Structure 1
Amino acid sequence: MATALSYESNMIVELMAVPDEEHDELWLKNALQQATMLELATLPPYLCGLWSIDDSSRNSDVFTTIHEIVFDEMSHMGLVCNMLTTIGGIPRVADERLVPKYPGPLPGGVRPELSVSLTGLTKQSLDMYSQIEKPDDPVVEDREVHTSIGAFYTAILEAFRNHQNLISGTRQVTRRMSSHGKGNDVVALRSFDDVEAAIKIIKEQGEGTAASPENPFPGHPGELAHFYSFREIFHGRKLIVVSKDPKKFDFQGAEIPMPRTFPMGTVPRGGWAEGGLPVSSEVRKLLDTFNDHYSSLLRFLEQAWQAEQASTAGQLLNKAVGEMRELQEPAQQLMQIPLPDGSGKTYGPEFRYVEAQT
């Protein structure tokens, strides 16, 4: 099995093909690095959708739903990083080879039929979001036919179950985030029970359970798992029970109106300039500002999980959060500048990694 790290690899497919009895320490470290990259890969497309919602619609149910999902994904990434460091690994994200590439597949070859892109909130992007989160056996719509993210996490859990001795509790970064949902705190993982609880949160917040579409760790009562939340917005209707025996769900509930949005276009591979569109000095400055903050964010995150002292890790994580807060303004400014191709679409952030200036 190849171990070279690259975002554009089939590492997850290769890992899932390894016999269960060979899921050793190296397998687990490789799997958790891929899981870290996978969690990071969901954030840029979801953030583009969130930021494309006009300020006049910030009180809408759609804005609230996507906002909470973004915070769920952030906590998932933190928990995965703690899983890697508790067995002596080091999460890596601040590297051009490892950051997400858009448009393109998810890392590791998971869901190979799916192309993930950076664009504004539309029916098409909502369908993309829900396909990212799709469970093996959803309570509505078709069953999954490829390896899902949930199946990958199940394999990781079983590897932990068989190698509980690897769990040392080293370099655990913590942050209170339960205001965004029950179970959203990034907590230290010092036992198998801690790891099992964390993976349960990651899987069920995204996929729900085989029996219910509800998020068992909600930010508010009745909140659905990510897949079903995105499908509700896509269909424009609430998911309700339409039959009790047998129990059946369908999107036949109250209407969910789409919010007003900025018409952000789809970022070309390699960025706007690589896509052949002229980039003005104003746009270039905003893109550079955004990419610099994004890159600093990734560096601070990586450094936080390398810190030996909890206080140092906390300070580095706070710096990462500070960089995160700097992203929205240039992103939304870009979304108000029309593309020069007459499409009626606008620019948007590229989420490109750039090395620190020396």
Structure 2
Amino acid sequence: MAAEVDGYLPVVTNAPALQIETRDELVSLLHEAAELEHGLVCSYLFTACTLKEDGTEDLSGQQAEAVTRWRGLLTSVALEEMLHLALVSNLLTALGAAPHLRRPAFPQSSRYYPGGITIELRRFSDTTITRFIHLERPEGVDIEEEVLSDQAVQVDADAPEVAPGALRAPHDEVEEVPTEAFSTVGHLYQAIEDGLCHLVEQRGEDAVFIGPPRAQATATDFQLPDLVAVTDLESARRAVEVLVVQGEGVRGDWTDAHYGKFLRVREELRALQADDGDFDPARPVLANPAAHIPVGGADGRLVEEPITAAVMTLCNGCYELMTAMLLRFFSHTDESDDALGTLVQRALGLMSAAIRPLGMLLTTLPAGAGHGEATAGPSFEVSRPASLTPHRRAAWLVLHERLMELAAFAGRIAEDGGPDVLVEIAEQLSATARGLEPHLERSRIRRDELDHVEAHLGPREG
């Protein structure tokens, strides 16, 4: 267990942790953490999008009020998971590594996730919230009976012995990690915290935290007050503290943590369903929907309705672009502070301006005749992993170009009979492109292409 640093004790657990011996092992484990947090952002947003909206969808006043509250809670928790992803990125950058914004396709699993759980895209239900509770549960909390009987959760999965890619010779001594000592998110972060402390003890802070401080994302950049810039062991451990406390809560007090919030949502849901056995707060959304056949097949998840599949492709394109913009932010070169502020705010703005409204729209659109009454949803599919364009001028021009392409695509879907809201989303994407223009080389802006896109949208007000 890590020793006390600057007046506060380790924030995670006293359980034996996975041993970390090298920088590469620590980076590999942080990659697992990044994929976990990234997957949770998508999972929580998906579930929020599946909730019905108002009394026109067979909800009483009390039910509609609860559903609105649950949607807000899930969205706020997803935003905190975005904060967690940024914190993990800061830890990676501080160690001299690149940010890791890739993730496996859904359903998403790994040996390094708690309890062998699989992260999926599922509609709001008692089962879904129970899985969220299990994933966010603190150390020492017993696994619920509902989880023990859930085939999607392998509670008896063996704990990994070493980090991914660990350099261990056949006769090297490896401390066994009991299954119960690697069964929560806190245990994953315990291994990361202990690894940080061990490397500092062996090599010294200056040799461990070698990343440029200017590359750190700050609370000002993201407008997230708990975003810790990591430059040394103390700040690294404060970052881990935020990661664990927001999810699991501090020991004995998880009321305001994700765990406690999900417990309250389930309690409210069960009370409302006890009063009305027919109450279903969610639309009949397909689980883990896909717009394109993934590797290994779609397993009945492929959305067949052409307009719906096109809207899913648009939503996926916006999601991929947001990821590319965040990757540029975390891996920037000679951008000014003003340019970086614009980049991150425009990237995060895509969530509220395009991704979330498209996600909610998709849960109202039919998945296709082969799926009965089931509707689609935001699939967060990635056509290719996010990769860094290394040169600043080219990177910004590529981002600008892609925004124009997505705006034009949204307009074409609307012209082909898609929902009218797509015209507004096209305008939002066009506005985001214009927001990047002050930081492009004006002589090279393909202004004619933006004019062509805007000609399809009509004149802008003001």
TM-score (norm 1): 0.75
Cα distance in 1 for residues equivalent to 2:262 and 2:372: 26
- Structure 1 residue aligned with 2:249: 208
Deviation at 1:259, TM superposition (A): 8.0
- Structure 1 residue aligned with 2:86: 78
Deviation at 1:343, TM superposition (A): 4.3
Residues 100 and 129 (structure 1), Cα distance of their counterparts in 2 relative to 1, 3 Å cut: farther
The residue identity in structure 1 corresponding to 2:134 is: Q
Deviation at 1:292, TM superposition (A): 0.5
1:236 aligns with 2:268: yes
SS of aligned partner of 2:119: coil
The residue identity in structure 2 corresponding to 1:41 is: G
**Counterparts of residues 166-205 of structure 1 (less than 5 Å):** 166-168=208-210, 170=212, 171-176=215-220, 184-205=225-246
1:132 to 127, 131, 135: 135
Residues 270 and 335 (structure 1), Cα distance of their counterparts in 2 relative to 1, 3 Å cut: closer
Structure 2 alignment gaps of length 5 or more: 1-15, 55-63, 149-154, 156-179, 385-397, 406-462
Structure 1 alignment gaps of length 5 or more: 1-15, 215-223, 239-250
1:347 to 376, 382, 385: 376
Residues 116 and 262 (structure 1), Cα distance of their counterparts in 2 relative to 1, 3 Å cut: same
Cα distance in 2 for residues equivalent to 1:290 and 1:35: 25
The residue identity in structure 1 corresponding to 2:42 is: P
Q: Which moved more, 1:275-284 or 1:171-180?
A: 171-180
2:184 to 148, 153, 162: 148
Cα distance in 2 for residues equivalent to 1:102 and 1:34: 15
Deviation at 1:58, TM superposition (A): 7.1
SS of aligned partner of 2:319: helix
Deviation at 1:70, TM superposition (A): 1.2
- Structure 1 residue aligned with 2:441: none
The residue identity in structure 1 corresponding to 2:319 is: Y
Percent of residue pairs bearing the same amino acid type: 19
Deviation at 1:123, TM superposition (A): 1.1
The residue identity in structure 2 corresponding to 1:68 is: S
Query: Which structure dedicates a bigger proportion of its chain to helix?
Result: 2
Cα distance in 2 for residues equivalent to 1:123 and 1:271: 29
**Counterparts of residues 300-315 of structure 1 (less than 5 Å):** 300-308=325-333, 309=335, 311=337, 312-315=339-342
The residue identity in structure 1 corresponding to 2:257 is: A
- Structure 2 residue aligned with 1:283: 308
Deviation at 1:141, TM superposition (A): 5.2
Q: Which moved more, 1:294-303 or 1:167-176?
A: 167-176
Cα distance in 2 for residues equivalent to 1:337 and 1:148: 36
The residue identity in structure 1 corresponding to 2:190 is: T
1:265 aligns with 2:260: no
- Structure 2 residue aligned with 1:247: none
Cα distance in 2 for residues equivalent to 1:310 and 1:177: 13
Deviation at 1:303, TM superposition (A): 1.4
Deviation at 1:148, TM superposition (A): 1.9
- Please say if residues 34 and 108 of structure 1, whose CA atoms lie closer than 8 Å, have aligned partners that are also in contact: no
Cα distance in 2 for residues equivalent to 1:272 and 1:51: 23
2:104 to 88, 94, 100: 100
- Structure 1 residue aligned with 2:429: none
Residues 58 and 90 (structure 1), Cα distance of their counterparts in 2 relative to 1, 3 Å cut: farther
- Please say if residues 102 and 270 of structure 1, whose CA atoms lie closer than 8 Å, have aligned partners that are also in contact: no
Residues 319 and 128 (structure 1), Cα distance of their counterparts in 2 relative to 1, 3 Å cut: same
Let me know the Cα RMSD of the aligned residues: 3.3
Residues 112 and 343 (structure 1), Cα distance of their counterparts in 2 relative to 1, 3 Å cut: farther
Deviation at 1:177, TM superposition (A): 8.7
- Structure 2 residue aligned with 1:330: 358
**Counterparts of residues 48-87 of structure 1 (less than 5 Å):** 48-56=46-54, 57=64, 60-87=68-95
Count of matched residue pairs: 308
- Please say if residues 103 and 269 of structure 1, whose CA atoms lie closer than 8 Å, have aligned partners that are also in contact: no
SS of aligned partner of 2:114: coil
Residues 338 and 269 (structure 1), Cα distance of their counterparts in 2 relative to 1, 3 Å cut: closer
